[in-house]
């Protein structure tokens, strides 16, 4: 079955005057093309057509995400044994525990060289670092 999408052209002046109504029409599936000096310059489309612009992690970043989720799954059990300590997880299993995340990283990196792993502190929120020159990105 072929779907026909209705397209309407409106000038910037009409957009200013009728923005709420045009947004509603676009939300219902109509394609509203905004023109300026007679030329098409922009388009209003339903939000569902825009999609999620959050980048999907790929490669090693995706692997790391899986390790982070494994840590979260293991955390209730880890809390009993290692509350407040840093735990490293790789391939869904605990591969190291330490009170110092730097020492733990170096040990696990030397052992797993090249493999992806996650380090988290059991039963504690992530530490705060001051990045005073940074805006939220």
Q: What's the min distance (Å) between Cβ of 98 and another protein?
A: 12
Q: What's the min distance (Å) between Cβ of 108 and another protein?
A: 9
Q: What's the min distance (Å) between Cβ of 65 and another protein?
A: 9
Q: How far apart are CA 82 and CA 76, in angstroms?
A: 10
SS3 52: coil
Is 129 an interacting residue with respect to another protein (CB under 8 A)? yes
Q: In the chain, what is the straight-line distance between the N-terminal and C-terminal CA atoms, in Å?
A: 43
Closest to another protein by CB, 30 or 63: 63
16 and 27 Cβ atoms separated by less than 8 Å:
no
Closest to another protein by CB, 37 or 134: 134
Dihedral sign, Cα of residue 111, residue 115, residue 121, residue 127: positive
Which of 24, 49, 99, 106 contacts another protein by CB under 8 A?
106
57 and 65 Cβ atoms separated by less than 8 Å:
yes
Is 68 an interacting residue with respect to another protein (CB under 8 A)? yes
Closest to another protein by CB, 51 or 126: 126
At 12, list the tokens.
Answer: 């910037």
94 and 87 Cβ atoms separated by less than 8 Å:
yes
Which of 25, 32, 118, 122 contacts another protein by CB under 8 A?
118
Is 63 an interacting residue with respect to another protein (CB under 8 A)? yes
Is 130 an interacting residue with respect to another protein (CB under 8 A)? yes
């Amino acid at each position: 079955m072929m779907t026909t999408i209705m397209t309407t052209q409106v000038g910037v002046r009409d957009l200013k005057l009728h923005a709420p109504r045009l947004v509603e029409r676009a939300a219902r599936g109509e394609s509203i093309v905004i023109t300026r000096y007679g030329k098409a310059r922009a388009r209003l489309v339903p939000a569902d057509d825009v999609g999620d612009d959050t980048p999907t992690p790929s490669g090693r970043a995706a692997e790391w995400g899986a390790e982070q989720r494994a840590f979260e799954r293991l955390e209730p059990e880890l809390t009993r044994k290692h509350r407040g300590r840093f735990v490293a997880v790789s391939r869904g299993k605990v591969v190291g525990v330490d009170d110092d995340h730097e020492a733990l990283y170096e040990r696990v990196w030397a052992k797993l060289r090249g493999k992806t792993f996650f380090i988290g502190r059991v039963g504690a929120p992530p530490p705060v670092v001051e990045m005073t020159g940074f805006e939220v990105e």
